[in-house]
Amino acid sequence: MQRALVTGGAGFLGSHLCDRLLADGLQVIAMDNLLTGDLSNIEHLFANPNFKFIKYDVTEFIHVEGPIDYIFHFASPASPIDYLEFPIQTLKVGSLGTHKALGLAKAKNATFLLASTSECYGDPLVHPQKEDYWGNVNPVGPRGVYDEAKRFAEAMTMAYHRYHGVKTRIVRIFNTYGPRMRLRDGRALPAFFQQALTNEPVTVFGDGTQTRSFCFVSDLIDGIVRLSRSEEVLPVNIGNPHEITIREAAERVIKLCGSTSQVVCKPLPVDDPKVRQPDITKARKVLGWEPKVSLEDGLRMTLEYFKKAVAKQLAAKKNGK
Ligand code: UDP
């Protein structure tokens, strides 16, 4: 039986990855310091004998007993408000954490997969973004802690590959949505769902003409698993090329929720990228992958989750928690 370590295993993407790997017949160790991850994302796995959770901060030396075949390095705060709240932890997990996880991959002769990001492209001057675009990142802006940590992580990953011969893979993840996103993680879709489901004003930042391309979580995880089993060392974009404006995203969520909410405009955060759309030619060619879930279907599946999450939140408020 193959064994995988998932750092950030209690997070949104990490927990879905654990589910998928277990379903594929692997043993899975999830590691998370629960800074932004949540045990509720993995509690359904606790009874599974092939699953183990270790609460741990991967910026410290990582020790795991026994063989490991795959390391998926997903630990990091990942939403703009998280890395504004935890700037140093974000930098540390991207740099020190990546170093430790790579060291473990080398020691165990494991395949290492880095969860990188479309943020490597910054506020892009090339559209859509291809993997050979070097990006337009402000290192000293508020988003710099995340963008530069991930860029450093990519460089470190390539160094371990070139110098130590570690089998490494790098996925550049574009905006992804689905069940288990935190209601208050500040990202556009969770914010819009929460606001629409409680009939509060839906906050569009700027004039809402900035664009994003949203990928449903099951598609993303499938692309990542395929990449881990491929031979591709250089970064691969995984995301859904269906690009929409943020205003349109807000309006679609309001309509889907049958909400009476109105859109209100708020100031645009510093260095907020104006456009973002993955060019997935490489993923199609190298991995035979492309997304299957339409935005309409994905939003409907996500609505079911957010309805429950909002009901839970309202009940907790009522009980004075
Ligand atoms: N955004 C918004 N309202 C919100 C949260 C986000 O209009 O309540 C905007 C944000 O300014 C950005 C886009 O939606 O232009 C996507 O933001 P998100 O935080 O989801 O991810 P990003 O792609 O910026 O990392």
Q: Where are the domains of the chain?
A: 3-177+215-238, 188-211+242-276+294-318
Give me the active site residues, please.
Answer: 146
- The reported pLDDT for the residue numbered 319 is 87
Q: Is the pTM of this model over 0.85?
A: yes
Q: Is the pLDDT of residue 275 over 80?
A: yes
Work out the angle between the directed axes of helices 295-318 and 246-257 (0-180°, nearest 10): 70
pLDDT of residue 237: 98
What's the pLDDT at 213? 97
Q: List the beta bridge partners of residue 37.
A: none
249 lines ligand 1 (CB under 6 A): no
In this predicted model, which residue has the larger pLDDT, 309 or 321?
Answer: 309
Lowest mean per-residue pLDDT among 72-76, 184-188, 301-305 = 184-188
Taking CA atoms only, the protein residue closest to ligand 1 atom 21 is 187
Q: 69 CB less than 6 Å from ligand 1? A: no
Please tell me the predicted confidence (pLDDT) of residue 30.
Answer: 98
Rounded to an integer, the average pLDDT of 196-223 is 98
Question: Does residue 198 have a pLDDT over 90?
Answer: yes
Q: Is the pLDDT of residue 310 over 90?
A: yes
Residue nearest to atom 5 of ligand 1 (CA): 188
CATH class of 188-211+242-276+294-318: alpha beta
Mean pLDDT calculated for residue range 27-42:
98
Ligand 1 pocket member 191 (CB < 6 A)? yes
Residue 242 pLDDT class (50, 70, 90 cuts): very high
State whether the beta carbon of 175 lies less than 6 angstroms from ligand 1.
yes
**pLDDT of 321 over the 80 cut:** no
Mean pLDDT of 257-279: 96
Which listed CATH number (3.40.50.720, 1.10.3720.10, 3.20.20.10, 3.40.640.10) goes with 3-177+215-238? 3.40.50.720
pLDDT at 51: 98
Distance 201 CA to ligand 1 centre (A): 15
| pLDDT above 80 (res 131) | yes
Residue ID of nearest Cα to ligand 1 atom 14: 188
Atom of ligand 1 nearest to the CA of 195: 8
269 lines ligand 1 (CB under 6 A): yes
